[in-house]
Chain A
Amino acid sequence: KQEVTQIPAALSVPEGENLVLNCSFTDSAIYNLQWFRQDPGKGLTSLLLIQSSQREQTSGRLNASLDKSSGRSTLYIAASQPGDSATYLCATRGRDDKIIFGKGTRLHILP
């Protein structure tokens, strides 16, 4: 059974710093991994989707990497801004087509 873990549960960093969010999963037989952002009381906004054959995806200041063999993905945020404050979730889509989410990392960017 796939388990997705995100550590730390919460993170505070000063504005302007680069930061890395971590996502680990137990079953490497995945079709893809997707990163989302969630603001309080809102739905999830898709940030990046990495297919199993890919190693990384980039969008603006965001870069996501995928290492299936080690069961890890990272989301790199460059030059953080207060508007980046949100909860970031990762989710894997397995061979059984189940999509399993981590509990998320609550990010707070200090002005």
Chain B
Amino acid sequence: DTGVSQDPRHKITKRGQNVTFRCDPISEHNRLYWYRQTLGQGPEFLTYFQNEAQLEKSRLLSDRFSAERPKGSFSTLEIQRTEQGDSAMYLCASSLTTGFLGPNTGELFFGEGSRLTVL
């Protein structure tokens, strides 16, 4: 088990460009979460998946953001027409839940994050 992997670790882009981040969760984990973190703040929830189903999206996730987990394994987070306000660390986490939509008491494991800088 290699833990949660995120790629790329750092992305610098110009305003208006599209960027995509990838997350590979711990292999047996069925829940996958995306968070955004800015300097001095705690992580803010963006969206999460149960297997391939996207169960909830935060109001923070504007229509420029889209996330997928097509086969219930890895996930991608795409940001279209990036803005300077999108500059942040994008964190992926995974956990194991024992029941669909049931209480999830599983431990949350994070990747190293993908830092986005929009110039």
Contact = CB atoms under 8 A, between A and B. Distances in A.
A43 B113 contact: yes
A44 B104 contact: no
A43 B108 contact: no
Given A43-B113, A44-B91, A97-B103, A91 B45 contact: no
B62 interface: no
Contacts of A104: 42
Chain B interface mostly helix, strand, loop or mixed? loop
A12 interface: no
A41 interface: yes
A21 interface: no
Contacts of A71: none
B41 A103 contact: yes
Interface residues of A, number: 25
Contacts of A32: 105
A38 B11 CA distance: 20
Given A98-B45, A101-B42, A104-B42, A46 B103 contact: no
Most chain A beta carbons < 10 A, residue from B6, B44, B112: B112
Given A99-B33, A99-B45, A31 B103 contact: yes
Given A89-B42, A104-B42, A49 B112 contact: no
A46 B112 contact: no
Contacts of B113: 42-43
B92 to A, nearest CB: 8
A109 to B, nearest CB: 20
Contacts of A102: 42
Contact of A42 (B40, B104, B112): B112
Contact of A45 (B44, B104, B110): B110
A81 interface: no
A7 to B, nearest CB: 13
A76 interface: no
